[in-house]
């Protein structure tokens, strides 16, 4: 029987992996996948806790997160395509027009 | 006390406001291509309906009940205790009927006013008249300090435009002065209202009264300069400007002289009463000790106002200004009666408010009739009018005599009751009465002077020989006024009965509250 | 019999109906019908008054209080115990006044039909007359002081309307008439101020304004034996139930409550006095008597006064009212001017009825005056001084009506002085007789003026026959001063008369009768009444309890005696100037006798002037009491005037007064007789007769002792100046223009200028700009943080999260 702690550790590991990916990668697609990883890490934690406390809100939230993630992917990929069209690259370091 | 169904008072209050809607929807041009004839009829219809509704209310009013009747309360801003709360009691019922009586008269008298045809915007004019009626009724009915304040300020707006658009030569100056002067006084009242409301936790007047009566809400009183006195003065100054108590009267002659006839009628007939009503409604019951302590001072101003006003009136050469100044003298009587702080004095004061509304309103009506014909307000331009227009002269004489306080007509009953109250008052006494009674002589001096100058003597100006006779609208309004003048003069009992219990209870509360401190 | 007193409501409503009818349909009725309408109303009222008189005689002079139908109470404030009802009183005093008012009133209505013939506002005149009757009857029938005050002011209004009746006469005459009207009303208002103050004080002293409450016995001393005798006669004088006394008059129903008269079924004790009624339920007079007896302290809020002092104050205020209405010093000045009205008005209002209202009020309040010694003294002095002063001024008048006006003032002075010496019965007696002969004289003078005017027009017509006679036709209303002539002709000026005795015989004879009655020649009416006043003041001088009342009595006696002599003198002067000698103008030469409707009232009044005195003949004179019964009138009045008392006849005084009057008449005849009457302006034979000082004596009288000028100089002019000053300088220039427009308005603008330039631009704007530049500097430093690289932001977010976690976890770890 797996303990909740195990799930939490797994989720933490996944989250850190995702976070590292976001910070270190240059490719926007990969950046994007790392974000998905972080989201799913938190999903995992939510489900684990929900099971722990035997409450439905956690599951509920997971669905919300999945839904939001899906929407985010749709919008995000569209943005990436648009950027590629204009810049011919998806290297995020080249995108610093917002510099103050 | 509070029911969810729409009470009669609400009907009376909103009828004028509802009347604005059809006015807004109607076409600017009538069938004949000129102004739409139906504006005035619509306005007259709705104000007349309000009058009838208020008569029904008066008829079903239970005179023996001193409390609030026809009450209606709807939550508005519950978090700080503000609600839409109206009701009628013995103090306000007569003034409500007065308002609804004066408004159709004012509107009917506007039918013949050339200034409206001259300046146009007839629709706007009647909308403002109805809005004014709505606001004034609101002031008399409001049972919530906050609502009272709102209605109080709203009355300024239509009056401002009535004077500013349809007034005489210096109308803008007069309108602005009127607005600013009254507004300035209201600021202090707003502060006092906020203080009272926040301390009580509610703005509802009956609730506050209950708190005061049960001793749960105390405004500390320690002489003429203490919290309660400052609150009292905050209210009083706002009301004193509106009444106007001497020496806050400077806006009145301007406003009256510049305003169109109907505006003057409403101004003298009802607007001035708002101030005196406010004093009775708020200053006395909320701050009884302060009222008691300040009574001799305010009454002194009132007596000065009576004599000064009458004396100044005598020297006027402008008919409208003359009548305007006479209001200062008359309203001095009202204030004197209020600050007699006994039931006779206050009842007299309320009746005198009604009387003044009718008599002085009537005076402005006949001045308006003259003005329509000669387009001047200079007394010297008239003379011998009685010979040219005998019926008009007789009707005007009766109104003038009522204003002068001839026994058997309404003015006397009010003045007599007030003066009797002031002689037996716990705060005033012999000398206040003596000097105020001198006003009776002075009023005869200026009224007769005016009447003689305008109506008697030979016709000295050729134009006056060919004055147009009274139109039916003019006859109607003058006769309506005179009927009430005689009715009150002969049978004032009806009126005293309506207000008696409420006023008596209030006077008892004031005096018991005041005596606990004085002892 | 029981319902008879209710008739009193009719006496009020008949003239009111007459007024209303004439007001609305009168103009359509035409002269004839409208005058018939008005006159009928007056005569019907008189009939009712007579019925009431018979009722009182038949019922043992029981006073009655009547609530009129249709009307609820008047000023009734239940919550404050104020109860002032519309309530009418029938007692001997009010019925006396009703008889005089309606009787003389009817005659004057008849007279007016002739006199006012052809006037443009003929019906209006009758409308006003009926209105006057209505108000005058309210005045005398009201059962409380406030109702009296309604009538009091109402007759003042009618007086205003009627004095100013010809307000539209051209050439400034109308203006003068309306001035006189206004003056009358304002002078009366000054008096009304006194009445009002008296009423207020009375209310707070007694808690009521009723004279007597229903069930209260007016004069307990009299009712004692009379009630008993009435019972023994088997009358219906059953006892009143206690409950009926307790019943407040506030009961609104039209009930008639008769004093001392209960329902016959209920048996109970017979009350012959008011002892059983608690003080608070008595009327003002009953309470006053009881309070005086108990030496009551009256409390007015913060201070209290003994009842005597309160009564003095109340009566002094009343006296002020009486001086206004009854034309005494210092307020009499309006009455001579009031002659601007049509002559019937002068007769009815300004001689017979309205001006006696002050005397009526004081007689009604005899209980107060009786107990206020100081006031009585002042009243006696004022009355007597007025009598002699007005008598003197009358000596120097040219205007026929002015002489009579001053004579009226003088005679009113007699009545007031009578009140002052406590002779209330005598005052009322003189009031009645004076109403007869002064109305007669005024109507006679009206007849003379009418005749002279017609004569003037006749003469005028004849003189101007050549160029058409438009003058007379255009002036179908032959009254007033409308003339086309270049030289103004005054038909009232006695210098334009003379020799009218032959032209107007009926007028002449009746006028002489009136003059003799006024002069107090035996046995005409004036002799008896004037003599009673003189006798009473003489007796008061001897018997008055204190120095004050004795002094008042003697001073009044001396002054009145002289005034009586003056009366005879100026009246005979008038007779000589008007009727004897030769005509001094063409107008007088052509004067015709007046029409029958005018001479008829003269004849009736002349008869009354001759025999009127016999209603109150004293007890020991020439056996007259065997014919007329002695002190009839005084005893009749005693049932309502508690302190009316009959004075024994003083033959000495009567002879002296009579002698003086006859001497004065002969003196006047010797000065003015045989056509010595002057025609020259401002030159009177008196001046020739008394070489040293004659001019001064006449001049002063002719100038009316400069009363009007002094009033103008010391009161009217300062009042007007002050009014101008207050209105134009203080209120408008200072308060309105300077204070509000300059100080507040300009001050406001000035402050806003300061606020706008240095304060707003310099301080506030600068402050805001400074804040802006600081923010700009900071943000310039801050912008380097914004690298634009997503990674940098992500790192900062991560660092932030780590920081938050550390902050959250650290405390937990430390624990």
* Mean pLDDT confidence for B342-357: 93
DSSP conformation letters of B442-490: HHHHHHHHHHHHHHSS---SGGGGGPPPPPHHHHHHHHHHHHHHHHHHH
The partner residue sitting opposite C787, judged by closest CB among A19, A23, A96, is A96
Torsion angle of alpha carbons C804, C810, C813, C814, nearest 10°? Answer: -160
A99, C791: Cβ pair inside 8 Å? Answer: no
Among candidates A19, A22, A99 on the partner chain, residue whose Cβ is nearest the Cβ of C787: A99
C246 inside 8 A of chain A by CB: no
Q: How many Å apart are CA C644 and CA C93, to the nearest integer? A: 11
Q: What is the pLDDT of residue C2?
A: 64
Cβ-based contacts of B448 with chain C (< 8 Å): 160, 182, 185-186
Per DSSP, helices labelled H in C121-270 are: 122-141, 145-163, 173-206, 220-232, 242-246
**Chains A and B share 3 or more Cβ pairs within 8 Å:** no
Q: Hunting for tokens 């002589």 — which residue is that? A: B441
Rounding to the nearest 10 degrees, give the CA dihedral for residues C349, C350, C355, C357.
Answer: -10
Question: Which run of H or of E encompasses C77?
Answer: strand C75-77
pLDDT greater than 60 at residue C479: no
State the nearest Cα–Cα gap between A19 and chain C, in angstroms: 8
C478: confidence class by pLDDT, cuts 50, 70, 90 = very low
pLDDT of residue C676: 63
Q: Compute how many other C-beta atoms are within 10 angstroms of the C-beta atom of residue C30.
A: 11
Q: List Cβ neighbours of C186 (8 Å cut-off, separation of 6 or more).
A: B441, B444, B445, B448, C334
Residues 43-82 of C with CB under 8 A from B: 71-80, 82
pLDDT at C255 over 50: no
**By the 8 A CB rule, do C439 and C351 touch?**
yes
ipTM above 0.90, yes or no: yes
Query: Which of B223-227, B283-287, C779-783, C788-792 is predicted with the least confidence, judged by mean pLDDT?
Result: C788-792
**Contact at 8 Å (CB) between C493 and C398?**
yes
Q: C732: closest CA among B242, B307, B439, B318?
A: B318
pLDDT at B88: 92
Q: Which chain A positions have a beta carbon within 8 Å of C788's beta carbon? A: 95-100
* pLDDT above 80: residue C143: yes
Helices (H), ranges, C712-762: 717-724, 747-754
Q: pLDDT digits over C737-761, tens only?
A: 888 888 888 888 888 888 888 887 8
Say what the pLDDT of residue C644 is.
85
Q: Is A86 at the interface with chain C, CB within 8 A?
A: no
CA–CA gap between residue C309 and residue C311 (Å, rounded)? 5
Give the number of other CB atoms < 10 A from CB of residue B491: 19
- For A94, nearest residue in chain C (alpha carbons): C789
User: Is C210 in a helix, a strand, or coil?
Assistant: strand
The predicted structure's pLDDT at residue B277 = 95
Give the helix/strand (H/E) hosting C88.
strand C88-90
CA distance C787 to chain A (A): 5
**Max CA separation in chain B (angstroms):** 74
Are C648 and C620 in contact by the 8 Å Cβ rule? The answer is: yes
C-alpha distances in Å from residue B246, one per residue of B249, B302, C213: 6, 7, 43
Task: For C95-132, give the DSSP string.
Answer: HHHHHHHHHHHHHHHHHHHHHTTT-TTHHHHHHHHHHH
Q: Which residue from B161, B153, B167 is spatially nearest to B113, judged by alpha carbons? A: B167
pLDDT for res C233? 34
d(CA B264, CA B16): 19
Cross-strand pairs, B409:
B407
SS (H, E, C) B243-260: CCCCCCCCHHHHHHHHCC
Angle at C197 between CA C191 and CA C203, to 5 degrees: 135
Using alpha carbons only, give the angle B168, B173, B174 rounded to the nearest 5 degrees: 65
User: Closest partner residue to C170 among B250, B458, B492, by Cβ?
Assistant: B458
Q: Which of B364-373, B469-478, C62-71 has the lowest mean pLDDT?
A: C62-71
Cα Dmax for chain A: 53
The mean-pLDDT minimum among B30-44, B83-97, B181-195, C595-609 falls in B30-44
C584 CB neighbour count, 10 Å cutoff: 20
Cβ atoms < 10 Å from Cβ of A17:
14
- Is any Cβ of chain B less than 8 angstroms from the Cβ of C737? no
Place of tokens 């109470």: C73
Cβ atoms of B181 and B251 within 8 Å: the answer is yes
Q: Is C28 on the interface with A (CB under 8 A)?
A: no
Task: Report whether pLDDT(C462) > 80.
Answer: no
How would you class C300 by CB atoms within 10 Å of its CB: exposed for 0-12, middle for 13-18, buried for 19 or more?
A: middle
Q: What is the mean pLDDT of residues C791-803?
A: 87
Closest residue of C to A97, CA-based?
Answer: C788
C7 pLDDT above the threshold of 60: yes
Q: What is the pLDDT of residue B241?
A: 92
CB contact under 8 A, C186 and B448: yes
Reported pTM? 0.84
- Cα–Cα distance between B391 and B325 in angstroms, integer? 26
Residue B175 token pair: 């309108």
Q: Which chains touch C (3 or more CB pairs under 8 A)?
A: A, B
Indicate if the pLDDT at residue B518 is higher than 70.
Answer: no
**How close does chain B come to C188, measured CA to CA in Å?**
9
Min Cα distance B143 → chain C (Å) is: 25
For residue A56, the distance in angstroms to the closest alpha carbon of chain C comes to 26
Mapping DSSP to helix (H, G, I), strand (E, B) and coil, where does residue B22 land? helix
CA dist A93 and C54 (Å) reads: 130
For residue A99, the chain C residue with the least C-alpha distance is: C788
**Distance, CA of C419 to CA of C318 (rounded, Å):** 13
pLDDT at B181 over 90: no
Note the pLDDT tens digit of each residue in B425-481: 878 888 999 999 999 999 999 999 999 999 998 888 888 888 888 899 999 999 999
* Chain C from 747 to 786: CB within 8 A of any A CB: 782-786
The DSSP-derived string for C382-399 is HHHHHHHHHHHHHHT--B
Give CA C725 to chain center in angstroms. 32
**If contacts are CB pairs under 8 Å, which of residues 25-54 in chain A contact chain C?**
31
pLDDT recorded at residue C485: 46
Q: What is the pLDDT of residues C302-322, one digit of tens each?
A: 678 899 999 999 999 999 999
- A85 in reach of chain C (CB within 8 A): no
% of chain B surpassing 90 pLDDT: 58
C92-115 and C596-611 are packed helices; what angle lies between their axes, rounded to 10 degrees?
150
Tokens of C503: 């032209």
- C75 vs B387, B416, B448: nearest CB: B416
pLDDT digits (tens, 9 = 90+) for C661-690: 999 999 998 888 766 655 555 577 777 777
Query: Quick one: which of C601, C276, C694, C730 has its CA closest to B325?
Result: C730
Q: What is the pLDDT of residues B110-154, one digit of tens each?
A: 988 888 777 878 888 999 999 999 999 999 999 999 999 999 999
Chain C contact probe: residue of A17, A95, A96 with most C CBs at under 10 A: A96
Query: Would you say residue B221 has pLDDT above 90?
Result: no
- Give the number of residues written for chain C: 815
Angle B353-B354-B358 (CA atoms, 0-180°, nearest 5)? 115
- Best A12, A22, A31 member to test C by mutation, with max C CBs in 10 Å, is A22
Closest-CA distance, C803 to chain A, in angstroms, reads 16
pLDDT of residue C272: 66
Which H/E stretch holds residue C249? Answer: none
Mean pLDDT score, C168-172:
85
Q: Read out DSSP for B336-397?
A: HHHTT-SHHHHHHHHHHHHHHHHHHHHHHHHHHHHHHHH---BGGG---HHHHSHHHHHHHH
Residue C789 touches chain A, beta carbons under 8 Å: yes
Chain B contact partners (≥3 CB pairs within 8 A): C
Share of chain C above pLDDT 90, in %: 44
Q: Is C301 on the interface with B (CB under 8 A)?
A: yes
Q: What is the mean pLDDT of chain B?
A: 89
C172 touching B, CB under 8 A? yes
Pairing of strands C256-258, C297-300: unpaired
pLDDT tens, residue order, chain A (100 aa): 678 889 999 999 999 999 888 888 888 889 889 999 999 999 999 999 998 888 888 899 999 999 999 999 999 999 889 988 888 888 887 777 767 6
Between C229 and C724, the more confident residue is C724
Q: Which string of DSSP letters, residue by residue, matches B315-342?
A: T--BHHHHHHHHHHHHHHHHHHHHTT-S
- Cα of C783 to nearest chain A Cα, Å: 5
Task: Please tell me what DSSP assigns to residue C504.
Answer: -
In sequence order, which residues have a C-beta less than 8 Å from that of residue B485 and are 6 or more positions away? B358, B359, B362, B398, B399, B402, B409, B410
- Region C428-452 average pLDDT: 93
Q: Closest to A96 (Cβ–Cβ): which among C785, C789, C798?
A: C789
Neighbour tally for C303: CB within 10 Å:
9
| pLDDT of the residue at C315 | 95
Confidence of residue C471 (pLDDT cuts 50, 70, 90): very low
| pLDDT tens-digit map of C703-718 | 888 888 888 888 888 9
pLDDT digits (tens, 9 = 90+) for C480-495: 444 444 457 888 888 8
Closest approach of chain C CAs to the CA of A98, in angstroms? Answer: 5
Mean of the per-residue pLDDT values of chain C? 84
Q: Which strands sit side by side in the sheet containing C88-90, from one edge to the other?
A: C88-90, C64-66, C256-258
């Amino acid at each position: 029987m797996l303990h909740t702690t195990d799930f939490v550790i797994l989720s933490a590991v996944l989250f850190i992996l995702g976070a590292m990916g976001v910070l270190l990668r240059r490719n926007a697609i990969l950046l994007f996948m790392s974000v998905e990883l972080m989201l799913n890490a938190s999903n995992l934690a939510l489900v684990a806790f929900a099971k722990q406390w035997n409450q439905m809100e956690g599951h509920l939230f997971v669905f919300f997160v999945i839904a939001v993630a899906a929407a985010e992917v749709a919008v995000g990929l569209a943005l990436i395509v648009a950027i590629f069209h204009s810049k011919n690259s998806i290297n995020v370091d080249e995108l610093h027009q917002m510099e103050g | 006390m509070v029911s969810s169904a729409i009470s009669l008072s609400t009907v009376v209050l909103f009828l004028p406001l509802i009347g604005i809607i059809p006015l807004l929807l109607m076409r600017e041009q009538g069938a004949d291509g000129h102004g739409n004839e139906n504006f005035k009829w619509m306005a007259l219809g709705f104000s007349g309906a309000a009058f009838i509704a208020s008569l029904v209310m008066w008829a079903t009013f239970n005179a023996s009940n001193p409390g609030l009747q026809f009450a209606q309360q709807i939550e508005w801003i519950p978090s700080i205790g503000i609600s839409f709360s109206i009701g009628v009691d013995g103090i306000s019922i007569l003034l409500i009927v007065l308002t609804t009586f004066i408004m159709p008269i004012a509107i009917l008298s506007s039918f013949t006013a050339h200034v409206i045809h001259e300046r146009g915007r007839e629709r706007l004019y009647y909308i403002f008249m109805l809005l004014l009626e709505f606001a004034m009724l609101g002031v008399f009915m409001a049972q919530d300090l906050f609502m009272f304040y709102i209605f109080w300020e709203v009355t300024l707006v239509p009056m401002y435009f009535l004077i500013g658009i349809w007034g005489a030569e210096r109308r803008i100056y007069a309108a602005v002065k009127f607005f600013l002067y009254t507004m300035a006084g209201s600021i202090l009242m707003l502060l006092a209202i906020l203080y009272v409301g926040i301390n009580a936790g509610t703005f509802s007047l009956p609730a506050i009264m209950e708190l005061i009566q049960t001793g749960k809400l105390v405004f500390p009183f320690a002489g003429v300069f203490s919290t309660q006195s400052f609150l009292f003065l905050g209210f009083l100054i706002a009301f004193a400007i509106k009444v106007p108590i001497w020496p806050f009267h400077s806006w009145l002659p301007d406003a009256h002289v510049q305003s169109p006839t109907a505006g003057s009628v409403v101004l003298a007939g009802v607007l001035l009463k708002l101030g005196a009503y406010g004093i009775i409604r708020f200053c006395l019951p909320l701050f009884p000790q302060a009222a008691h302590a300040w009574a001799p001072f305010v009454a002194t101003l009132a007596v000065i106002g009576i004599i000064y006003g009458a004396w100044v009136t005598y020297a006027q050469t402008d008919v409208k200004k003359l009548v305007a100044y006479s209001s200062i003298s008359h309203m001095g009587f009202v204030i004197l009666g209020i600050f007699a702080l006994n039931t006779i004095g206050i009842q007299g004061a309320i009746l005198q408010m009604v009387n003044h509304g009718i008599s002085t309103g009537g005076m402005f009506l006949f001045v308006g009739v003259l003005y329509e014909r000669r387009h001047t307000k200079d007394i010297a331009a008239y003379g011998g009018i009685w010979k040219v227009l005998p019926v008009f002269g007789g009707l005007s004489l009766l109104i003038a005599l009522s204003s002068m306080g001839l026994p058997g007509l309404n003015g006397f009953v009010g003045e007599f009751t007030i003066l009797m109250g002031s002689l037996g008052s716990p705060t005033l006494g012999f000398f206040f009465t003596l000097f105020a009674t001198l006003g009776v002589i002075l009023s005869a001096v200026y009224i007769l002077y005016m009447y003689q100058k305008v109506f008697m003597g030979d016709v000295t100006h050729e134009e006056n020989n060919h004055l147009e006779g009274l139109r039916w609208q003019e006859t109607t309004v003058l006769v309506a006024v005179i009927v009430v003048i005689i009715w009150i003069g002969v049978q004032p009992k009806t009126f005293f009965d309506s207000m008696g219990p409420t006023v008596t209870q209030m006077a008892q509360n004031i005096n018991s509250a005041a005596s606990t401190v004085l002892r | 019999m029981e319902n008879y007193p209710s008739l009193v409501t009719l006496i009020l409503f008949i003239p009111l109906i007459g007024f209303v009818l004439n007001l609305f349909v009168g103009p359509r009725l035409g002269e004839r019908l409208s005058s018939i309408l008005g006159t009928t109303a007056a005569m019907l009222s008189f009939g009712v008054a007579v019925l009431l008189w018979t009722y009182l005689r038949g019922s043992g002079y029981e006073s009655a209080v009547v609530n009129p139908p249709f009307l609820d109470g008047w000023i009734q404030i239940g919550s404050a115990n104020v109860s002032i009802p519309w309530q009418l009183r029938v007692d001997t005093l009010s019925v006396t006044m009703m008889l005089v008012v309606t009787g003389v009133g009817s005659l004057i209505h008849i007279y007016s039909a002739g006199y006012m013939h052809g006037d443009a506002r003929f019906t209006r005149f009758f409308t006003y007359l009926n209105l006057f009757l209505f108000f005058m009857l309210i005045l005398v029938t009201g059962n409380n002081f406030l109702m009296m005050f309604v009538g009091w002011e109402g007759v003042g209004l009618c007086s205003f309307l009627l004095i100013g009746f010809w307000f539209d006469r051209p050439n400034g005459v109308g203006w003068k008439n309306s001035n006189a009207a206004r003056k009358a009303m304002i002078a009366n208002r000054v008096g009304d101020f006194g009445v009002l103050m008296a009423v207020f004080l009375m209310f707070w002293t007694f808690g009521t304004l009723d004279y007597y409450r229903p069930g209260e016995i007016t004069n307990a001393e009299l009712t004692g034996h009379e009630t008993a005798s009435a019972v023994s006669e088997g009358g219906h004088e059953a006892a009143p139930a206690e409950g009926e006394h307790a019943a407040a008059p506030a009961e609104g129903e039209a009930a008639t409550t008769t004093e001392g008269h209960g329902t016959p079924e209920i048996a109970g004790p017979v009350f012959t006095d008011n002892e059983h009624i608690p003080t608070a339920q008595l009327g003002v007079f009953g309470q006053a008597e009881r309070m005086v007896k108990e030496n009551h302290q009256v409390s007015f809020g913060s201070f209290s006064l003994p009842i005597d002092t309160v009564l003095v104050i109340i009566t002094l205020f009343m006296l002020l009212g009486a001086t206004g209405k009854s034309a005494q010093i210092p307020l009499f000045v309006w009455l001579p001017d009031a002659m601007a009205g049509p002559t019937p008005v002068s007769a009815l209002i300004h001689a017979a009825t309205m001006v006696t209202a002050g005397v009526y009020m004081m007689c009604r309040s005899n209980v107060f005056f009786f107990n206020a010694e100081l006031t009585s003294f002042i009243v006696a002095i004022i009355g007597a001084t007025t009598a002699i002063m007005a008598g003197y001024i009358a000596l120097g008048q040219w205007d026929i009506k002015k002489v009579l006006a001053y004579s009226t003032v003088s005679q009113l002075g007699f009545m007031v002085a009578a009140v002052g010496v406590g002779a209330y019965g005598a005052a009322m007696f003189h009031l009645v007789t004076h109403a007869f002969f002064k109305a007669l004289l005024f109507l006679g003078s009206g007849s003379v003026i009418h005749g002279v005017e017609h004569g003037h027009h006749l003469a005028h017509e004849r003189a101007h026959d050549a160029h058409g006679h438009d003058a007379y036709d255009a002036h179908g209303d032959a009254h007033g001063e409308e003339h086309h002539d270049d030289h103004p002709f005054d038909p009232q000026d006695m210098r334009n008369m003379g020799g009218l005795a032959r032209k107007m015989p009926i007028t002449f004879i009746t006028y002489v009768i009136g003059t003799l009655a006024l002069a107090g020649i035996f046995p005409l009416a004036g002799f008896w009444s004037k003599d009673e006043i003189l006798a009473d003041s003489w007796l008061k001088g001897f018997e008055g309890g204190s120095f004050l009342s004795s002094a008042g009595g003697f001073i009044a006696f001396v002054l009145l005696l002289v005034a009586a002599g003056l009366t005879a003198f100026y009246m005979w002067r008038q007779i000589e100037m008007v009727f004897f000698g030769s005509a001094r103008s063409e107008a007088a030469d052509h004067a015709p006798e007046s029409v029958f409707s005018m001479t008829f009232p003269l004849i009736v009044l002349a008869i009354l002037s001759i025999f009127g005195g016999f209603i109150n003949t004293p007890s020991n004179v020439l056996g007259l009491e065997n014919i007329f019964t002695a002190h009839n009138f005084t005893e009749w009045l005693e049932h309502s005037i508690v302190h009316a008392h009959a004075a024994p006849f003083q033959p000495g005084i009567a002879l002296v007064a009579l002698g003086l009057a006859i001497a004065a008449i002969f003196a006047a005849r010797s000065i003015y007789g045989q056509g010595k009457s002057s025609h020259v302006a401002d030159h009177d034979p008196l001046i020739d007769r008394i070489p040293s000082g004659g001019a001064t004596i006449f001049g002063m009288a002719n100038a009316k002792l400069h009363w009007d000028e002094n009033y103008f100089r010391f009161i009217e002019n300062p009042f007007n100046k002050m009014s101008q000053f207050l209105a134009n300088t203080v209120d408008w220039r200072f308060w309105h223009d300077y204070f509000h427009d300059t100080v507040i308005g300009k001050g406001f603008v000035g402050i806003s200028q300061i606020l706008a330039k240095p304060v707003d631009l310099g301080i506030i704007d600068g402050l805001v700009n400074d804040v802006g530049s600081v923010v700009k500097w900071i943000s310039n430093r801050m912008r380097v943080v914004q690298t634009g690289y997503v990674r940098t932001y992500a790192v900062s977010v991560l660092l932030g999260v780590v920081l938050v976690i550390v902050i959250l976890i650290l405390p937990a770890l430390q624990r």
